[in-house]
Amino acid sequence: MTNAPNAPETPATTVRAATPADLDAIADLHTRARATYYRERLPDAQLDSPAERERRRDGWGRALARPDATVLCAERDGTVVGAASYRREDGAPADTVMLNQLHVDPGCWRGGVGTALHRACVAGWRSAGIATARLEVYWHNSRARAFYTRHGWQPDETRRPAPDDTHLGLVLPLTPAGR
């Protein structure tokens, strides 16, 4: 793939398994992303306070420690610029997975980082024989909803939101590798 004339060069994105050494970088970028897409919808104290950053850090630490979870991070020039985590849902069919998190540093939005993470997730799911992926997205996050729609996600008709729900369930049907 070549860049169009006069198009800025985009650094290469590498997606790899996250390690405990990535925890602070992942928590920081998640906090920045969350503060950006929830701004004006939630009080600032709920977005980027030290307590909220610590909540993000604790959540990602738990994901990294779970033997049944996969945590990926995207890097550019040695800097973590995106992260994703998924695992099979408790009580769900064995061929179903839940994408729990996918976040990109706001400075890298629309630069291919989210797509690289998404492709890595889908490749992992297919190689594991996963038939269905699910996620929940914040209803008012139109940027994220458009991203998921571009990548084939559709409203999950089996999980209708309650009238006061703030999130929308989406589903991605998959064809496992080798079929």
pLDDT per residue over 125-163, tens digit each? 999 999 999 999 887 788 899 999 999 999 988 776 666
Q: To the nearest whole number, what is the mean pLDDT of the chain?
A: 85
Both structure tokens of 87: 């695992």
Of 64, 63, 56, which is closest to residue 29 (Cα–Cα)?
56
Structure confidence at residue 161 (pLDDT): 62
SS3 content of the chain, % helix, strand, coil (to 5): 35, 25, 35
Of 72, 99, 85, which is closest to residue 153 (Cα–Cα)?
99
Structure confidence at residue 164 (pLDDT): 65
Coil, strand, or helix at residue 25?
helix
> Does the reported pTM lie above 0.95?
no
CB 126, CB 175: distance < 8 Å: yes
Structure confidence at residue 32 (pLDDT): 86
